[in-house]
Amino acid sequence: MAKEEDFSDPRIPNRDACVLRYLVDRWAAERPEKAHVVFADGDEWTFAELQKKVRAKAAGFRELGVRQGEHVAVWLPNGPDALLAFYAINYIGAVFVPFNTAYRGSLLQHVIANSGARFLLVHPDLLPRLSEIDLAKVEQLVVTTNGEADFAPLPVTRFDSLCGDENDPLPLDRPIEPWDIQSIIYTSGTTGPSKGVLSSYLHMFSNAGPESWPMVGEDDRYMCVAPIFHIGGMGPPFVMLARGASVAMIDNFSTDEFWSVAKATQSTVVFLLGVMATFLLKAEPGPGDRDHTVKKAFMVPLTGDAPAFTERFGVDIYTIFNMTEISSPIVSEANPIKIGTCGTVRDGVEVRLVDTNDCEVPVGEIGEMLVRTDRPWAMNSGYNANPEATAEAWRNGWFHTGDAFRKDEDGYFYFVDRVKDAIRRRGENISSFEVEADVCRHPAVREAAAIAVPSEYSEDEVMVVVAPVPGKSIDPHNLAEFLIETMPYFMVPRYVRILEELPKTPSAKVMKAELRSEGITPDTWDREAAGLRVRRESFSS
């Protein structure tokens, strides 16, 4: 285990508290028999077993030629190979650079070139996509499993053969520091090329560590259903490692199997992103609703269904606001009563809501959220090989999230919209996020996207594009009548378009730019043309 270092700045934890290599060694010494990871098939790695596996694989990467500080690209689905690669790459001080398994064509070529990686670890089923693109600086492919590698355009080494001596001390050029880059995670925007977020060990630690998520402790087990190439899938193993705790790594989210898998893996904490909570609530009630071990759930965003979720499934609900680039600046208490909030500012973080000139807006008004932290290196270190995007995001010494919020008198923050997605209709500013939340309360709607489309009167009209719950159909007239009763008159969508699935980026963000460009299609239903009009309320004087 690394010698403990006391840094002069008390805001920076010791290396063995936040650097992956030293955490693996620390817990193998202090808690060798405790499980750190369990998989859906029942396989389990204790901290002692984890250390042996990681050291052997790290030695194999070193023998292959991977050096400290080098970027190693990883293109794998969730599973033991992906997790082991993540830990082994970091163990020798190299940088873990995961790619989305949905990438192909020009997007795949872009991220490979941007990564600057010489080594690419890849699943054999993905190899044919590599023959279609320029592999930039990649010199060597490492291929998992025993699948065919006939389509490999470069020399291949099998991942299983990367197995060095687990007792190799693996000396470093220098100690791995908390501010060293641990990973590059690509965020796929809905309009521009993906950007590689440079994240230090201290950024990952601050993102969901003990000070950011005090409700998660060393006795918890975090069930991770997000892919490891997202912060939501890469972060949980690391933050539970920082606690000397455990994580359940699950291949993907399944509504039908969610609670049974949680019980089988003895998970106590889950993260419900986007429509996951909606899917679970809209599933038929069953005996598994309360027959599980889950005690705490993060619901993002927090919807009006939260109390019903707690009542039905017996879990405490928390919510946060976060993104890959920052470190959970807004966190709620248990079971917040202010529905729609993201919580309040946590200790160690400063948040401002500003106008287009970075001037702070009054309480209650909408502004873009800017963030900075007291601790050095607690947020992103910029965008890889993209100084222009880095300078734009970090202008005036604050990180610009691109998200519009409002804050109430009690200090609670409420997400309004992506700045570029706001809708203005007949003098009223409308949050597409709030429209979508109301639309998704309809029992037949699985997911929704609200967009602005041109109005013949000026400004915008509101359009929603919806997808149905499996086995159900959406009647646009019925949906409109439902919304007239539940939302302000000016927010009620004029147009409804029904699709089986909403178009999404490889990181599962709805492609609103594509929907806006398609506009009012022939299959779009028009509420006003159907004779269903909404009137402003009048009041007697």
- The tens digit of pLDDT for each residue in 133-160 reads 999 999 999 999 877 777 788 999 999 9
Q: Does residue 206 have a pLDDT over 60?
A: yes
Q: How confident is the model at residue 434 (pLDDT cuts 50, 70, 90)?
A: confident
Pairing relation of β-strands 525-526 and 495-498? Answer: antiparallel
Same domain for 226 and 144, yes or no, is no
Same domain for 448 and 407, yes or no, is no
pLDDT of residue 507: 65
The CATH number of residue 229's host domain is 3.40.50.12780
Same domain for 413 and 440, yes or no, is no
What's the rounded mean pLDDT across residues 517-538?
87
Same domain for 360 and 506, yes or no, is no
Same domain for 308 and 234, yes or no, is yes
Q: How confident is the model at residue 540 (pLDDT cuts 50, 70, 90)?
A: very low
Q: Domain range holding 404?
A: 221-380+400-418
In a domain, 144, yes or no: yes
pLDDT of residue 16: 95
Mean pLDDT of the chain: 92
Q: Does residue 385 have a pLDDT over 80?
A: yes
CB of 247 closer than 8 Å to CB of 235: no
pLDDT of residue 539: 39
Same domain for 167 and 306, yes or no, is no
Q: What is the DSSP string of 130-162?
A: HTTS--TT--EEEE-SS---TT-SS-EEEGGG-
Query: Percent of the chain at pLDDT above 70?
Result: 96
Same domain for 63 and 116, yes or no, is yes
In a domain, 424, yes or no: no
In a domain, 152, yes or no: yes
Q: Does residue 339 have a pLDDT over 90?
A: no
In a domain, 202, yes or no: no
pLDDT of residue 406: 94
Summarised one tens digit per residue, pLDDT across range 13-24 is 999 999 999 999
Same domain for 470 and 408, yes or no, is no
Among 359, 391, 418, which residue terminates a domain? 418
Query: Percent of the chain at pLDDT above 90?
Result: 76
- Host H or E run for residue 519: none
In a domain, 205, yes or no: no
pLDDT of residue 95: 98
What's the rounded mean pLDDT across residues 390-408?
96
In a domain, 73, yes or no: yes
Rounded distance between C-alpha atoms, residue 157 and residue 140, angstroms: 8
Same domain for 408 and 461, yes or no, is no
Return the closest-CA partner of residue 446 out of 473, 412, 413: 473
pLDDT of residue 264: 96
Same domain for 265 and 316, yes or no, is yes
What's the rounded mean pLDDT across residues 279-304?
93
Query: What are the CA-CA distances from residue 148 to residues 84, 120, 162 (Å)?
Result: 22, 16, 18
Summarised one tens digit per residue, pLDDT across range 478-503 is 999 999 988 878 889 999 999 999 99
Q: What is the DSSP string of 49-117?
A: HHHHHHHHHHHHHHHHT--TT-EEEEE--SSHHHHHHHHHHHHTT-EEEE--TT--HHHHHHHHHHHT-
Among 388, 418, 448, which residue terminates a domain? 418
Q: Does residue 537 have a pLDDT over 60?
A: no
Rounded distance between C-alpha atoms, residue 152 and residue 166, angstroms: 29
Q: Does residue 42 have a pLDDT over 70?
A: yes
Query: What are the CA-CA distances from residue 42 to residues 132, 135, 154, 265, 347 (Å)?
Result: 38, 37, 35, 7, 38
Same domain for 132 and 77, yes or no, is yes
In a domain, 534, yes or no: no
Is the omega angle on the peptide bond into residue 301 within 30 degrees of 0, that is, cis? yes
Average the pLDDT over each of 87-101, 184-198, 507-521 and give the range with the smallest value.
Answer: 184-198
The CATH number of residue 143's host domain is 3.40.50.980
Provide the domain count of the chain. 3
In a domain, 519, yes or no: yes
What's the rounded mean pLDDT across residues 86-101?
96
Rounded distance between C-alpha atoms, residue 533 and residue 525, angstroms: 13
Q: How confident is the model at residue 417 (pLDDT cuts 50, 70, 90)?
A: confident
pLDDT of residue 433: 81
Token readout for 429 is 């500013």
Return the closest-CA partner of residue 17 out of 171, 181, 330, 241: 241
pLDDT of residue 458: 62
The CATH number of residue 442's host domain is 3.30.300.30
Q: Does residue 541 have a pLDDT over 50?
A: no
Angle of helix 231-243 versus helix 80-91 axis, rounded to 10: 60
Summarised one tens digit per residue, pLDDT across range 230-281 is 999 999 999 999 999 999 999 889 999 999 999 999 999 999 986 789 889 9
Average the pLDDT over each of 99-103, 295-299, 350-354, 360-364 and give the range with the smallest value.
Answer: 99-103
pLDDT of residue 4: 55
Q: Does residue 427 have a pLDDT over 70?
A: no
pLDDT of residue 459: 75
Same domain for 239 and 150, yes or no, is no
pLDDT of residue 254: 92
Place of tokens 């080594």: 119
Q: What angle do CA 475, 480, 483 make, to 5 degrees?
A: 125
